[in-house]
Structure 1
Amino acid sequence: MADLLVLLPLSILGLIGGFLAGLLGIGGGMVLVPFITYILGTQGVAPELAIKMAIATSMATIVFTSLSSVRAHHQHGAVRWDLVKRLAPGIVLGGLLASLGIFALLKGSYLGLFFGLFIGYSALRMFRKPNGKAMRQMPGTAGLVAAGGVIGCLSGLVGAGGAFISVPFMTWCSVPMHNAVATSSALGFPIAVTNVIGFMVAGLHLQGLPPHSLGYIWLPGLAAIATCSVLTAPLGARAAHRLPVAQLKKIFGAILLCLAVYMLYKSLAALSG
């Protein structure tokens, strides 16, 4: 019965996260991490470790949601595969730096603070109107490798697919919004795969892991969320071409602000304790 009580909310999270991944290109991590942190806490996992495992498990789900949502975006011809190929090398380097280096060295509470501030900032951005003015063209190879490195590294530290960095960057460089969201979904795959490998290797010899864990990855959470998210990610991607996404972003921004406050509270409590 206890297993069912854990798997049910995880499955609901998967359905919601998958839809948001397709609709807004966010990979679902912004919603998943606070709830997975809470669920792991109910299973007796220490707060410091729970935050890290939530970030890593959220990132692992993006491997599946990105494949599912990008297929729907590709059918609309919206993915800029030329940009995916040019950004991917930097993403791999940045992801390895985050998952094998910075992530393993930082305390979970500091990562939680960073996550809370990051999603709080991301939430506030959702209330801003885009100015519609592209500032410049895409940089050359070196610039795209550097941009990919920043996207891959920051994504690994917060367990997200990188859309809140890659979408503004691409639109700033004259890429239309629908193309930017679709391309961000495709970038989620190399971001996720690289960081997941690092999370598994970095956490192999950790003490205090819950049952059925592979490094920092919590396999029951991954299985429940990924199975459900792949069902709704294509629905979200199709809805992105039909629904008033600007209005939906404001609603989602309000939810993110609440989650940011929760993560900041939990992280500060862990530090003071």
Structure 2
Amino acid sequence: MPSYDELIWLLLALALAGSVAGFLAGLFGIGGGAILVPAFYQAFALADVPEAVRMHVAVGTSLAVIVPTSLRSFLSHRKRDAADLALLKQWMLAVPFGVLLASVIAASVSSAGMRAIFAIITLLLGIRMVLNRQNWRLGDDLPGNPWRAIVGAVIGMVSALMGVGGGVMNNTFMTLYGRPVHQAVATSAGIGVLISAPGLVGYIWAGWGEAGLPLLSTGFINWIAVAMMAPLSMLFAPLGVMVAHALDKRHLEIAFGIFLLTVAARFIYSLL
């Protein structure tokens, strides 16, 4: 059992992570999962949650927190009429379908497999954030269907496996096809809702009846962590939106990319 000192530091770390996750949700159009998943993984380790379910609960709980965070961020961006609502409508089936596939995978993959998935994709995203250039282009407009639907499904699947809101991947997709970065950020917040809401249901189903789940968990969702993190995330999301519309984010992208690379290295080390 963790000591009282460890619990105090754990609560402080979770409070800080929740605040940063909310700010990043507004700033980058992401749900903050890249912050939340490592924080939850360490938290559940201190609480002696078995390794077999620890990563699954971290990812599922992250998605549960992202539901209100992404919704608050999207509504804030929508007030500025910045999101591509047409793309969101087109992806209302494709993205949740990808999330459904992720839930099926999560129900059968091991903890090491989940950590490997998170580490590899985080590594690639970190490299993308550090090396990204605004003038990189694949085309002048988004591709049509079926490619657009396939991309939506892939974003939904990969994001749900990582416990993230899909912002970094959608930002990359939209900006590579000539869309303004602020429109990509605003649209990503809406995609976070399309990922996290069905993801919450999917991870409840995937973890139903699993042994070793922490106290007050439903499937792979731990409601104690959700109750603590969600309010802080929602509180700081509008601040991130305000900064996103007033600041050149290149230096922040580099800093966030370095953070992602550090997180990836930590999970790769845990697999050795």
TM-score by length of 1: 0.93
Whole-Å separation in 1 of the counterparts to 2:240 and 2:61? 21
Q: C-alpha distance in 2, partners of 1:210/1:56?
A: 13
Question: 1:70 aligned to 61, 74, 86, which one?
Answer: 74
Question: Where does residue 214 of structure 2 map in the other structure?
Answer: 210
| In the alignment, structure 1 residue 52 sits paired with structure 2 residue 63 | no
Deviation, structure 1 residue 243: 1.9
Q: Which residue of 1 aligns with 2:118?
A: 115
CA–CA distance in structure 2, aligned partners of residues 248 and 92 of structure 1? 30
Does 1:165 find its partner at 2:169?
A: yes
| Cα separation, 1, equivalents of 2:250 and 2:141 | 24
Moved over 6 A (4+): none
Measure how far apart 1:134 and its partner are: 5.1
Q: Which residue of 1 aligns with 2:90?
A: 86
CA contact (8 A) 1:7 1:221 kept: no
Question: Given residue 137 of structure 2, which amino acid in structure 1 is its aligned partner?
Answer: K
1:24/1:181 contact within 8 Å kept:
yes
SS in 1 for 2:134: coil
Cα distance in 1 for residues equivalent to 2:193 and 2:168: 15
RMSD: 1.6
Corresponding residue SS for 2:204: helix
AA in 2 matched with 1:253? G
- The yes-or-no answer on 1:256 pairing with 2:260 is yes
Q: Secondary structure at the match of 2:31?
A: coil
Question: Which has the larger displacement, 218-227 or 131-140?
Answer: 131-140
Is 1:197 paired with 2:237? no
Question: 2 CA distance for matches of 1:221 and 1:7?
Answer: 10
Q: Are the equivalent residues in 1 in contact too, given 2:99–2:160 (CA < 8 A)?
A: yes
1:95 alignment counterpart: 99
- State the AA in 1 paired with 2:210: L
Instruction: Report if the CA contact (8 A) 2:28-2:168 is conserved.
Output: no
The amino acid of 2:61's aligned partner reads T
1:36 aligned to 2:40? yes
Alpha-carbon shift at residue 242 of structure 1 (Å): 1.2
Candidates 8, 15, 19, aligned match of 2:19? 15
CA-CA distance at 1:149 after TM superposition:
0.8
Question: Aligned partners of 1:186 and 1:51: how far apart in 2?
Answer: 25
The percentage of counterpart residues that share the same residue type is: 36
Verify the 8 A CA contact 1:87 1:147 in the aligned structure 2.
Answer: no
Q: Which runs of 5+ in 1 are unaligned?
A: none
Within the candidate set 62, 65, 69, 1:61 is matched to 65
Rounded to whole Å, the distance in 1 between the matches of 2:108 and 2:138 is: 38
Moved more, 123-132 or 240-249: 123-132
The amino acid of 2:11's aligned partner reads L
**Deviation digits for residues 35-61 of structure 1 (CA, Å, limit 9, x no counterpart):** 110110010111231111111111111
Native 8 Å contact 2:102 2:160 kept in 1: yes
State which of 239, 248, 267 in structure 2 corresponds to 1:235. 239
CA contact (8 A) 2:138 2:177 kept: yes
Question: SS of 2:246's equivalent?
Answer: coil
Amino acid aligned to 1:92: P
- Cα deviation code 1:26-82 (max 9, x no counterpart): 210111111110110010111231111111111111101111111221122111111
